Structure 1
Amino acid sequence: MIEDFLAGDLTAVDEALRKAAAAEIMPRFRQLAAHEIVEKNGPHDLVTVADRLAEQHLTASLTALLPGSRVVGEEAVHADPSVLEALRGDDPVWIVDPVDGTRQFVHGDPGFATLVCLAHRGELLASWTYAPALERMATAVRGGGARLDGVPMRSGSPEPGRELTVAISHFDFTTDEEKRVLGRLGTHGVAPRPCGSAGLEYLNVARGALDATAFSWENPWDHAAGLLLVAEAGGASGTVAGEPFRIAGGNAMPFASARDAATLRHILALLAS
């Protein structure tokens, strides 16, 4: 069934993202009331009514598109961590981040996205990165390439000798040890900066506007869509242990993605030094 779904017209998924954003996210952009914003695990980890309602909207529409599928969404997992176990099961799974970059959304910054990835038994099959305030849609299908607004996209390689730009875990979300490890990228030839929306940073890598990312957390909803997007654009990713990133968890941290394999090796070597 999942093979037939992937072989068909996937624009219905695009439309599901656009409808969820139009109904639940964009009407609240720059219109949020104070009571519609809640801290989850600290002052920098926010959730809004838009996150919750958009995830509910997508859960209904995506499972209707692919009967028998399940949803692992950021807000559902926050409410019930056992939802993550679906990633290890036999059913197709939609991995959903309704508003990736909630802090940006709350502050009226358009740099946020809705992320969806379809996975099966740990394999990433198709992904959607939709930035509604920027009106951009990036898609990827395993073995079928990556596209931005319908146009094929390639990550390319950094210009030889040029300083590498790397988006890293924002220090508001890292431990002292994670800061120390990520600090290894502060060396000659590398220019690290704090990340914004993880999904949009992956898009930047996939379109060649950013050379690499290095992250110290493994929440699947933050990474699944972007990792497939980068891979299908010609990029590469892996953990500091030299292993592929496992979407179900248990990865050695940190891990990185990059425009090409050589850049990935360089970034991982610095992180492991």
Structure 2
Amino acid sequence: MTENLPATLPNPVSHAQQQHIVNIIRRAAKAEIMPRFRGLSASDIASKSRPDDLVTVADSAAEAMMTRALQIAFPHALVVGEEAVADAPDLLGKIADAPLAFIIDPIDGTWNFAHNLAVFGVILAVTQFGRPVFGVIYDPVADDWAISSNEGPPLLERAGGTSKPLRASMGKPLEALNGYIPLGLFKGEAKTKLATTLPTFAHTHPLRCSAHQYRMIAQGYVDFSITESLHPWDHAAGALICERAGAHVEMLDGGPYTAARQSGYLLVAPDRTTWNRLKKVFDFLLEYPSE
């Protein structure tokens, strides 16, 4: 469906609705996430696909609260939460055909959250037929959020009502780039070959948190990221916010990112020129189809 859409879509959520969405996120964080931070017991934490792929009672409770509120405010929308997909994987296949979908990561960086590290966030994206048109990346600790639509400027907004524009970094030589390469998400020979590229760059350590990685890129503090894990709750909002902040966001095999895409490599860079330089470094990954 996405390939037949016009280049620009009218945003399906008004400015007032966007602020309501932010309020839904903040209320859920204050009610279900922050009271549990640094207070979880062992029985509050479980593993999913891997021993380090964690879910906590805070994830489940926050997602349930946000889902209920969104279904009341947008009764005809598809709501896709990370934890809901764990129970009903077929939800992912509905994103491409949904004229209005909300994609929620209730706690991105759950490993950090579960280990008392204050590097986690809430991610929410609105999509039309898979294409991100509105995104929020909320930091419950600082009570601030990166936000953008496909029509408005990307901003970092704070609870007190202040805001500042977001702007990606300027392009620079490869050896001066700081980026995020989550080596642990890659597998087999692709992982081994990818490890040999790390000395090419100035710094490449990921934060185990897509929310803060995208916020850092959108603020111009970090230059690039590459990943093969295309869970839409991790990337849909960040891809939109970074693109609106001036970054070049494109799949390594060409073409725009959409939340309906479930495999491939997503490369984010400060500009097209730097993206092309990075593509030459990472092009070998295309020999290894991602899952």
Q: Same fold (TM over 0.5)?
A: yes
The Cα shift of 1:162 comes to 6.0
Amino acid at match of 1:167: Y
Q: Measure the CA separation in 2 of the matches of 1:264 and 1:65.
A: 39
Q: Measure the CA separation in 2 of the matches of 1:114 and 1:156.
A: 24
What is residue 264 of structure 1 aligned with on the other side? 275
The Cα shift of 1:9 comes to 4.8
1:33 to 37, 41, 53: 41
1:108-143 superposed Cα distances (whole Å, 9 cap, x missing partner): 111000000000112111000001013221101102
Distance 1:196 1:174, change over 3 A: same
What is residue 247 of structure 2 aligned with on the other side? 235
TM-score (structure 2 length as normaliser): 0.87
Q: Percent identity?
A: 30
Matches within 5 A, 1:13-162: 13-149=21-157, 150-159=163-172
What is residue 182 of structure 2 aligned with on the other side? 169
Q: Measure the CA separation in 1 of the matches of 2:58 and 2:86.
A: 15
The Cα shift of 1:182 comes to 2.7
TM-score (structure 1 length as normaliser): 0.92
Amino acid at match of 1:26: M
Tell me the C-alpha RMSD between the 2 structures.
Answer: 1.9
The Cα shift of 1:184 comes to 4.9
What is residue 222 of structure 1 aligned with on the other side? 234
- After TM superposition, the structure 1 stretch with the greater mean CA deviation from structure 2, 21-30 or 137-146, is 137-146
Q: Secondary structure at the match of 2:154?
A: strand
Which blocks of at least 5 consecutive residues in structure 2 are unaligned? Answer: 1-9, 158-162, 285-291
8 Å contact 1:239–1:251 — kept in the other structure?
Answer: no
Q: Measure the CA separation in 2 of the matches of 1:4 and 1:227.
A: 18
- After TM superposition, the structure 1 stretch with the greater mean CA deviation from structure 2, 154-163 or 90-99, is 154-163
8 Å contact 1:101–1:197 — kept in the other structure?
Answer: yes
Whichever structure has more strand as a proportion of its residues is 1
Which blocks of at least 5 consecutive residues in structure 1 are unaligned? Answer: none
Distance 1:117 1:48, change over 3 A: same
Distance 1:184 1:87, change over 3 A: farther
The Cα shift of 1:68 comes to 0.7
